[in-house]
């Protein structure tokens, strides 16, 4: 996600907002994308924050 500095943490809320704005999605659509990325091993969660895997 290029609009975020690397050191800034990504919360679910921030991820939803970025997807909604950049991809013109509603909240359920953004949630679905985040869930799919998580289920396929592209994201993981640490203390309520989202992190991207190297995968």
What pLDDT does 37 receive?
92
What pLDDT does 1 receive?
44
Name, in order, each residue with C-beta under 8 angstroms of 3's C-beta and a sequence gap of 6 or more.
18, 22
- Structural domains counted in the chain: 1
Tell me the pLDDT tens digit for each residue of 10-52. 888 888 888 889 998 888 898 999 999 999 999 998 998 999 8
And the tokens for 4? 């975020």
**Is 1 among the domain residues?**
no
**Is 36 among the domain residues?**
yes
**Is 3 among the domain residues?**
no
Edge to edge, what strands does the sheet with 49-52 contain? 10-11, 49-52, 43-46
């Amino acid at each position: 996600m290029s609009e975020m500095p690397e050191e800034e943490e990504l919360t679910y809320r921030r991820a939803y907002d970025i997807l909604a704005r950049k991809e013109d999605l509603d909240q359920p659509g953004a949630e679905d994308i985040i869930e799919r990325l998580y289920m396929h091993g592209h994201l993981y969660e640490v203390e309520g924050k989202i992190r991207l895997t190297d995968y």
